Chain A
Amino acid sequence: MTAVAATATPAASAERSAAAGEGTRAAAAVDMFLKVTDAAIASYLDACVHCGECAEACHFYLSTNDPRYTPTYKLKPLVKAYKRHKAPFSTLMRGIGLAPAELTFEELQEWSELVYDSCNMCGRCTLVCPMGIDIAGSVRKMREGFVAADLAPEGLRSAEANALRTGSPMNVTPKALKATIASQEKETGIPVALDKQGADYMVILSAMEVMGYPEVIGSLARIFAKAGVDWTISTKAFEATNVGVQIGSRETARTLVSRVVDAAEELGVKYVISPECGHAYGALRWEGPNLMGRQYKFEVVHILEVLDKLRREGRLEMRDKDKRRITLHDPCQIVRRGGLLDEPRALIDHVSDNFVEMPMSGVTNLCCGGGGGVSANPRAHENMNAAFSCKLAQFKAVDGLELVVSPCANCRTTLEEGLENYEYAMPVIGLGEFIAEHLKD
C-alpha cells in the first residue's frame, strides 16, 4: 500500500483527488487508520462486545432511531482495517480467509456521513460503555484516514483552507480583530493591550466569539481590569479554533497550534488562556504538546480556571446576584473530556441566586449537537437539528427556566439556532459575559 500524506489544503486535495484513483485513496485511508491505531485504540477495537449500549447515549441515534448511528458502528472501517492488517492473529486470519475484506472506497464514502455528520465526538457513549471505550477519541483518529482519502466534507475543508490562509476558519483577519477590539474599548472605556511583551496572560479567542459575540472581549477587559490581571492579545495568533482537530488533519492541527505557541513564546507570556470554546481547549492543552512534539514554555489554562482562581482569591467582586432561574450547559470538551466540572458551577453560584441543574447535567450532559465540526458542516445540519430535539427536552425539563449559560461560543450558537428552529424562546449567554454583567463597578 502507498502511504499518502494528510491533506494540506482543499485545493491540494482536489488536485490529488483528480490524480488519484479510488483504490489509491482507499489504500491511503487504510494506511492512515493503521498509523493512528496505537495500543489504546487497538484495545478499544478489540474489547468491543457489540452490546449496543452506546446507542442509548448518542443523541443522533436517540433522535432518529436509526441503528446506523450506533456509535460503535461508526468505527467499522477502522475495525476492518485493524483486524485485517494490524490485530494480533491478523496474518493468520488473512491466511485462512477469515480476516475482514479490504476496505473499499465505496464503504469509506458511505461512512463519511457517519464519521463527520452524525458524531460530535462528544464522548457521551464512553460513559455508558461497559468496556469504557473512547469512541469519540477513536473517531477523531479515524477522521485522519478520511482526510487522507479526501473524503472530508466540503464545509470543513473550506474552514480548514480559511484557517491556513488567514489564521481563522471564519476569515477573521488581524485588521478585523483590531476593529472589534477598538469598538469594545470604546464601549467599556478600558484599553486592551495588544502584543504586550512579558504579559502574564495571553488571551486567544474563537472566531465565533470575535464574529458573533464581540462583547466577550469587553467582558474580559472589565473582569481583568477589576481583578488587576496583566493580559494581552497577540495580533499574530489570536485564533483558538483548531479546525485541524475537527477535520482530522494532524498537519493542519499542528500548524494552527504552533502559531499560538510561537506567538506566546515570542511575547514571553506565562500563561495562554483558552477561551470559552470546547475543542480549542483540548486542542491546545491536551493535544498540542503531542502535535508539537514538545512541552510549551508557558502554561495553558482555561478561562474558567482563571475566573475561578480570581473568585477564590476574592478578586471577583459582584455588585449583585442574578435572580433569574438559570442553568448551565456543560460543553463536552470542557467538562466530560476536559475535566472542568466544578469551576463553572462555582462561578455561577458566585453570580446567581437561582441556579438549577438540568437533568443529566455535568459529565453526562447532552451535547449541543454542533461540536466536532458538525456545525461547520452544512451537509450535517439536518442531523444536527434532529439531535437538538434531545437538548431541547433537557431544557424543557427545568420548570420556569429563564436563561442558559454556555461557556462555549460554538455551543452557544448551536443552542441559539436550535432554539430558534424549534421556536422556543430562551436566551443563552457566555459565562464571562454573565459574570461581567454583575461585576461590582
Chain B
Amino acid sequence: MTLLQFVEGPMWYFAATVFLVGAAWRVIGLLAIGRKTDLSPAKHSAAVGFIKGNLRHFVPRTTFAERTWFHWLAGYAFHLGLFALLFFAAPHVKFIEQRILGFGWPAMSRTWFIIAAEIAFAGLIVLWVRRIADPVMRQISDRDDHMGSWLTFLVMLTGCFALGESDPGLRTLHMGLVNLWLIYFPFSRLMHAFTFALSRGYTGAIYGRRGVTP
C-alpha cells in the first residue's frame, strides 16, 4: 500500500468516521443538556424566532458597519471562497461522486477555482493577521483559534498545489492534511460550522417569544 493509498483509504475512512461521529456527538451532546420549558406566556412564536434569529445574523447591522465592515467582508470572503472550493473544485466533485455519494454536479472551471481560492486565502489571511495584530483579538484568542486557522490554511494551500494532479506526493500531502483537519474538527472551534445554527436559534427563540430578534 502506497502512502497515497493509505491516506485515501484507511486513514480517510478513519478521519471521516471521527468527523461524522464526533460532530454528531457534540451537537447531540449540546442538545442533550436540555433546557427547561419557558413558563412565561409567549407573545410570539419561538419557532419563528429560531428561524429569524438564524437568518438575521447572516446580515450585518448597518449601525455597526463603520467599525466592523472589514471583519465581515473578510469573514464572508473566506467562508464563501472555502464553500466554493470545497463543493465545486473539480477534484472534489469527482471525489464526492466516486467515493461518497455516487453522484456529482458540474464543477467550476479552473479560472473560477483560482478566483475562489484567492478570495478564500485573502479572507483567511486577513482574519488571522487581525487575530495576532488587534489587541482585542490577542486578548481573546487561544491555541485552538490558531490551530484551526493554520490547519485550514494548509489544507487550502496543499489543495492548490495538488490541483494539477501532476504529482501523487502533493495529492498525498493534501489528503493527509484533509484527514487531520477532519479529525481535529469535532474537538475544535471549527464546529461553529454546525453550532452557529443552535446559538443563533436559541437566542432567536428566546427573544422571538418576546417579539424581538436581537
Q: Which residues of A contact B (CB under 8 A)?
A: 37-40, 42-44, 46-53, 55-57, 61, 65, 67-68, 70, 72-73, 86-89, 93, 123, 126-134, 137, 285-290, 292-295, 299, 335-341, 360, 363-364
Given contacts A55-B136, A70-B139, A128-B61, contact A339 B210 (CB under 8 A): yes
- Check A128 against B33 for contact (C-beta < 8 Å): no
Of chain A, the residue at the smallest CB distance from B61 is A127
- Report the minimum CB–CB distance from B205 to chain A (whole Å): 8
Stretch of B1-9, B64-72, B81-89, B157-165 contacting A (4+ beta carbons < 8 Å): B64-72
Checking A129, A134, A338, A360 against B202 with a beta-carbon cut-off of 8 angstroms, the contacting residue is A134
Given contacts A46-B30, A67-B138, A88-B26, contact A39 B202 (CB under 8 A): yes
- Check B207 against A337 for contact (C-beta < 8 Å): yes
- Check B139 against A89 for contact (C-beta < 8 Å): no
**Is residue B141 within 8 Å, beta carbon to beta carbon, of the partner chain?**
yes
- Check A131 against B57 for contact (C-beta < 8 Å): yes
Contact residues in A for B136 (Cβ distance below 8 Å) = 52, 55, 61, 67, 70
In the bound assembly, the distance between CA atoms of A56 and B68 in angstroms comes to 7
In the bound assembly, the distance between CA atoms of A112 and B75 in angstroms comes to 33
Stretch of B90-98, B111-119, B170-178, B191-199 contacting A (4+ beta carbons < 8 Å): B191-199
**Is residue B25 within 8 Å, beta carbon to beta carbon, of the partner chain?**
yes
- Check A126 against B214 for contact (C-beta < 8 Å): yes
Of chain B, the residue at the smallest CB distance from A366 is B63
Contact residues in B for A137 (Cβ distance below 8 Å) = 203, 206
Beyond the given A39-B198, A46-B195, could you list 13 further A-B residue pairs with CB under 8 A, ordered by the A residue number? A46-B199, A47-B196, A49-B189, A51-B71, A52-B136, A70-B139, A88-B30, A89-B29, A128-B60, A131-B195, A134-B214, A339-B211, A339-B212
- Check B35 against A53 for contact (C-beta < 8 Å): no
Given contacts A39-B202, A56-B68, A336-B212, contact A88 B140 (CB under 8 A): no
Q: Which 10 A-B pairs have the closest CB atoms?
A: A88-B29, A339-B211, A132-B200, A47-B199, A67-B139, A339-B212, A40-B202, A289-B39, A43-B198, A339-B210
**Is residue B53 within 8 Å, beta carbon to beta carbon, of the partner chain?**
yes
Contact residues in A for B130 (Cβ distance below 8 Å) = 52
- Check B30 against A52 for contact (C-beta < 8 Å): no
- Check B57 against A130 for contact (C-beta < 8 Å): yes
Tell me the total A-B contact number using a CB cutoff of 8 A. Answer: 180
Q: Which of A43, A289, A337, A364 has the most CB of B within 10 A?
A: A43
Of chain B, the residue at the smallest CB distance from A86 is B33
- Check A364 against B61 for contact (C-beta < 8 Å): yes
28 cross-chain CB contacts under 8 A: A39-B32, A44-B199, A46-B199, A48-B192, A50-B141, A67-B139, A70-B136, A70-B139, A73-B140, A88-B25, A88-B29, A89-B22, A89-B29, A89-B186, A127-B214, A128-B64, A128-B68, A130-B75, A132-B57, A132-B199, A286-B40, A287-B40, A290-B36, A290-B39, A294-B39, A335-B212, A338-B210, A364-B63
Contact residues in A for B102 (Cβ distance below 8 Å) = none
- Check A52 against B214 for contact (C-beta < 8 Å): no
In the bound assembly, the distance between CA atoms of A287 and B41 in angstroms comes to 11
In the bound assembly, the distance between CA atoms of A88 and B198 in angstroms comes to 15
Per the 8 Å Cβ criterion, residues 17-62 of B in contact with A are 22, 25-26, 28-36, 38-41, 43-44, 53-54, 56-57, 60-61
In the bound assembly, the distance between CA atoms of A47 and B71 in angstroms comes to 18
- Report the minimum CB–CB distance from B83 to chain A (whole Å): 15
**Is residue B167 within 8 Å, beta carbon to beta carbon, of the partner chain?**
no
Per the 8 Å Cβ criterion, residues 121-139 of B in contact with A are 130-131, 134-139
- Check B40 against A288 for contact (C-beta < 8 Å): yes
Q: Which of A44, A68, A130, A294 has the most CB of B within 10 A?
A: A130
Contact residues in B for A42 (Cβ distance below 8 Å) = 30, 33
